[in-house]
Amino acid sequence: MSIETLALKKGEVAFVWFNSYSGVMIRTPTKTLLVDPADVDPRVFKTVDAVLVTHEHADHLDESIIRDVHRRTQCPIVADSTSAKRLADAIASDKLFEMRVGKEMKLGNISVRAEGFNHPATTPVSYVITSEDGVRVFHTGDSLPYPGMKQIGELNPPDVVFCTVGVPAPGASPESGLEIVRLVKPKVAVPYHGPAVDRKRFAELVAKETPSVKCVVVEQNKPVKYP
């Protein structure tokens, strides 16, 4: 993907949404992270410094894709407990990192912290990724809003938050995505994991209800820079 060749300056990050779920590639000036790779040809990912998995559902965890990416890049795999157990036979123990809510790890000069999740999976986690320059990206998987998001927004306010806005995530809607924005209070909100009609409706709600937050409606496979 062209995001892997983007030149980023200090204080910048870039991201690209590559499927209709929560598959996102995130780049900082020094690292490239792949989150929830599913429903995608793994050969498009040339440079990967780590793979992050939020939970075990098939639209978030595809073991064959992760095996392929890991075989070619030897990157670490960071995953919730259930997904980590499913990957244990394919990924060496020194390359597989199990994450629980509250755990934080370093990937070079960036940090990844596991946060809570509101979704009917076994051991799901969301991730707050902090770049080497302090830019925070909150990847919520396909979580619905939950009270702990308010604390995240108060203690470590994200610059960018990804918000689930539609099917097939149970209970997700543009309105539930708006509630995430209200709780987290990011600078930029990005709707994903939902059809175009729901992403458009989410943008309308954000503009009306939380006008201080910029909504960026991204196109699949089209990289975006922040800020």
Q: How many CB atoms lie within 10 A of CB 15?
A: 23
Average pLDDT score over residue span 167-186: 95
Q: What is the pLDDT of residue 50?
A: 98
115 contact partners, CB below 8 Å, separation of at least 6: 101, 102, 125, 126, 127, 128, 138, 148, 152
For residue range 103-121, what is the model confidence (pLDDT) as tens digits?
999 999 999 999 999 999 9
- Sketch the domain layout of the chain as residue ranges: 13-218
User: 10, 21, 47: which is closest to 37 by C-alpha?
Assistant: 21
What is 13-218's CATH number?
3.60.15.10
pLDDT at 190 over 90: yes
Confidence band for 1, pLDDT divided at 50, 70 and 90 = low
Mean pLDDT (the chain, rounded): 96
pLDDT at 169 over 90: no
Distance CA 28, CA 31 (A): 5
User: Model-level pTM?
Assistant: 0.97
For residue range 123-152, what is the model confidence (pLDDT) as tens digits?
999 999 999 999 999 999 999 999 999 999
Average pLDDT score over residue span 45-64: 97
Average pLDDT score over residue span 37-58: 97
